[in-house]
A and B are shown apart, each in its own frame.
Chain A
């Protein structure tokens, strides 16, 4: 079927999304409390002070938004494919709750007091990542390493997530007023303080995860046929599960470490794109990655401007937009008899 520009629909969709991403990048790079962006670059009206801010503050933030947005949405799409359930999201594997617990422990029991000053910030990021990975590994082990059906993984995820949540609640009780505020503010997500070096390390760990998830998209399509049919087609379901879990752990772990908890991207973006592009994972996964990057870029631009010169935590904005959408989707599903 050759439509616009003689391209196949899949390529057309991806090209459109790619262009939308460039547009979003342009818009996001120009917004903010500071009057600097590509326009100032082109007209040559950037001072050396502006240039310093542009490279040290604005650019890392834009790349972080694209990285985290694409990672979370891609992981979400892969999870929905793996669990064959459109309500699945990366949180099921416990990365977010594990990271929250780790950061809570870091804040309430300041081990950082024994480390040199520079380590407080990076230590927090590292502990969030490690906490997320440990929890994910624990769930995977309890979930029988991906053998059998998904039920074990789901139940293990449920149990561990609840436990982590309970410990987090205990920490909230023990924490003093300031520590409590620290913990809740971290939980709301924010992209504002990442340095280029931290972003580079994060990208180094996350990009293999992204590629791993993208590499299994055809297999996810086969999995949708059902366990028996998929096995007949020669699909190694156990290996697929391992790859998806590993990929999700890498992408979501780094995202949470760098940017805190940002909700609804993993749930919302695959849904929206599925309605437009259909359920095929071959297209849905890369499209979700692009869609996630676009949404987070724009949400972050809003976060920086709605209450300027202050900032709204970006995780709040994505949830504020996501929740009504989810409710609307449920209402529609009720009327149509499907989800």
Chain B
């Protein structure tokens, strides 16, 4: 080989390690704490900046490969510090309360993401994450999509005679609970045009057999984790009181994704639209049909 060319290649090879140095320099080390926060980070295309996450950050699938610094309400300070992050995206739902203060005292930049559990809150979260990561431009398409979905939601025709009940259950929980007034599931059901069969109960409460029978729900809504925790479809219909309800007689069950439905992240509006469509299909009403025919739903 030409000696000059050889020397040139050798010289360039020596410079190779510097490229990794340059890459590390420009790449921030970010930790995202909160399932909704992590979803937004990936939705903005910044997933490769993440070096760690918390237990509730389950979406998308690749997020599960990141190391887990603990449950959102019981985070480990030393665990977070061991990753030497440049930025920590901290949901306001994170506990213990002094975490942000301790991290800032250690010289780490902390961006607090609001924890507002309604659709307007999703925009706030997206804006906060985009601002912290300097991705305000990239957030515009995402915000536009979310606005379009919210628009579609306002145009949904509510079901006149359908009543639903949302059952919350996860592994390790004692009795399953139903969603009453004021709970996040209740507000989502209303957005999907479904009336809550449970009236006069605040928040999530354990089911009483008589209460379920009196409610006479036409549809049962469960999350995927809830279905698994209760042992599958057959076990669900055997829950006390359900057997005397129209939902059990017609086996009308809708299963939603936990994080998508209850997380109030980028997929929530979409999940509510999907719930509406599922209800239409369950009750065999084609989407494009005149409103008079719709009133026939029992």
Q: Give the B-binding residues of A (Cβ under 8 A).
A: 32-35, 49, 52-53, 56-58, 118, 120-121, 176-178, 181-182, 185, 190, 192-193, 195, 304, 307-311, 313
Report which residue of A33, A181, A195 has the largest number of chain B beta carbons within 10 angstroms of its beta carbon: A33
Q: Interface code B141-170, partner A: CB below 8 Å = 1, 0 otherwise? A: 000000000000000000000000000100
Cβ of B77 under 8 Å from chain A = yes
Chain A residues lying within 8 Å of B97, measured Cβ to Cβ, are 120-121
Q: Would you call B286 an interface residue if the criterion is a C-beta within 8 Å of the partner chain's C-beta atoms?
A: no
**Complex: A181 Cα to B102 Cα, angstroms:** 22
Residue contact A309 to B95, C-beta cutoff 8 Å: no
| 26 sample A-B contacts, Cβ–Cβ < 8 Å, listed by A number | A32-B82, A33-B78, A34-B78, A34-B81, A35-B82, A49-B84, A57-B81, A121-B96, A121-B97, A177-B168, A177-B203, A181-B73, A182-B73, A192-B76, A192-B78, A193-B102, A195-B102, A307-B70, A309-B68, A309-B78, A309-B79, A309-B80, A309-B83, A310-B79, A311-B70, A313-B74
Chain B interface, DSSP helix/strand/loop, else mixed: loop
CA distance A121 to B93 in the complex (A): 15
B82 contacts across to A, CB distance below 8 A: 32-35, 308-309
CB distance from A242 to the nearest CB of B (A): 36
Which residues of chain B are near A176, meaning CB under 8 Å?
203-204
Cβ-closest 6 pairs across A and B = A309-B79, A310-B70, A33-B82, A311-B76, A121-B98, A120-B97
Give min CB distance, A14 to chain B, whole Å: 32
Q: A121-B97, A176-B204, A193-B96 are in contact. Are A185 and B73 (CB under 8 A)?
A: yes
* Cα-based distance from A176 to B95 in the complex (angstroms): 16
Is B69 part of the binding interface, using a Cβ–Cβ cutoff of 8 Å? yes
In the bound complex, residues from chain B placing their C-beta under 8 Å from that of A182 are 73, 95
Q: A339 CA to B95 CA in the complex, in Å? A: 42
Residues of chain B within 8 A (CB-CB) of A185 are 71, 73-74, 95
Are A33's CB and B76's CB within 8 A?
A: yes
Total number of residue pairs linking A and B with CB closer than 8 Å: 88
B267 smallest CB distance to A (angstroms): 20
Contacts of B70 in A (CB 8 A): 307, 309-311
Contacting pair A309 B76 (CB below 8 A): yes
Q: Which residues of B (175-193) have their CB < 8 Å from a CB of A?
A: none
Q: Measuring CB to CB, which residues of chain B are less than 8 angstroms from any residue of chain A?
A: 52, 55, 67-71, 73-74, 76-84, 93, 95-99, 101-102, 105-107, 168, 203-204
Min Cβ gap B169→A in Å is: 12
Q: Report the bound CA distance from A33 to B98 in whole Å.
A: 20
Residue of B76, B96, B102, B105 with most partner-chain A CB within 10 A? B76
A312 to B73 CA separation, bound complex (whole angstroms): 12
Q: A178 — which chain B residues lie within 8 A by C-beta?
A: 73, 93
A14 to B88, CA, bound (A): 46
Query: Closest CB of chain A to B70's CB: distance in Å?
Result: 4
Cα(A32)–Cα(B80), bound, Å: 12
- A56 and B105: CB pair below 8 A? yes
The smallest C-beta distance from B9 to any residue of chain A, in angstroms, reads 36
Q: How far is the CA of A309 from the CA of B69 in the complex (A)?
A: 5
